[in-house]
Amino acid sequence: MSSSTPDTITLPWASDFHCHLRQGAMMELVVPLVEQGGVRTVLAMPNLTPPLTTTQMAVDYGQRLQALAPSVHFVLTLYLNPDLTPEEIGRAAAAGITAVKMYPSGVTTNSEWGVADLRAYYPTFAAMQDANMVLCLHGECPSDADKGICILNAEERFLDTLRELHAAFPRLRIVLEHATTRAAVDCVKSLGSTVGCTITAHHLVLTVDDWAGQPHHFCKPVAKFPSDRAALRDVVASGHPRFFLGSDSAPHLLSAKQGERPAAGVFTTPVLIPLLATLFEKLGCLSRLEGFVSAHGRSFYQLPQPAAGSAAITLTRAAPLKVPRAYAVDCSPADAGSQPVTVVPFMAGTELAWSIAST
């Protein structure tokens, strides 16, 4: 990271290694906002309706995304499912698909097609290891009152599965996505170099008190206790190279967020890098920002680092960013229900200390 004055920062375009870009009208809104948030490399999640379960489905989706944002590099993923055989992994790798996403059944949005028994997929994981693909994990166990599992301990209860996968496939690159607990941070740090971890912007801000009764802060996994947030903040402030940005930005219509059962997801895409700059400054670790939003994740995903003199963004404190209260979605009334057809971003109506001055 370089600084021309104390009030500006110049960074490479950021890389977001976990983002929900949706489909249809929501996709048409969200995808052009990726660059507005300071990002030009984005790992696109496959939990659409229907999910991206074949190589051709993922390739077709990538083409639709590229048409909406030609300057963005979309890193494509597949949804782990019973038809994802070793043979299909070979086809995916040949087509340039980078990763496979594992959702435990029923834990989050569009996860009803998810996994119940990971051991059934060991041949697929072996093929991924040989093809040098990445396994992305939504690291939670499904809630089960009889087993004492709920949304507050589901991540910690999953960590033994992460350890088992790493032991069984030590060359397979595995990402524990959107960590929310001290236990998850300690677990990833204890494992080998092929295990990485993404952290979201909103989990660096929120604790359990912030989402209880506030649907626009409700996400899966939920934000946990202040001590857990402190662990997330400490590891990003340390500059640990296996912890990097995965925003898990997940937009939902206002009607879905404020309904009887609020949808899980926080929308940070359009303000992502100004938000992180503001937060890292408050944490006293602004010098770690470039590693977190660019270098660490690109290294883990084996993408080239930006060359000297390549395209960059400049952040400034001279013009604070006023976060919009909502973004309009151009969709049919049937999709919207009776409420306004809008998406509410994280930190809506507030002001961030940093904004993007130029690109």
Please list the active-site residues.
18, 20, 101, 138, 178, 248
> Which amino acid is it at 217?
H
Kindly tell me the burial class for residue 305, based on how many C-beta atoms sit within 10 Å of its own C-beta (0-12, 13-18, 19 or more). Answer: exposed
Which uninterrupted H or E stretch holds 40?
strand 39-44
> Which amino acid is it at 56?
Q
Q: How far is it, in rounded angstroms, from Cα 222 to Cα 236?
A: 19
Q: First CA to last CA across the chain, in angstroms?
A: 15
* DSSP reduced 3-state for 275: helix
Closest CA to 39 of 301, 311, 278, 318: 311
* DSSP reduced 3-state for 240: coil
C-alpha 217: how far from its chain's center? 15
Q: Which residues contact 65 (CB under 8 A, 6 or more apart)?
A: 21, 27, 31, 44, 72, 74
Q: How far is it, in rounded angstroms, from Cα 337 to Cα 99?
A: 35
Give phi and psi for 35, each to the nearest 5: -65, -35
Closest CA to 357 of 312, 318, 315: 315
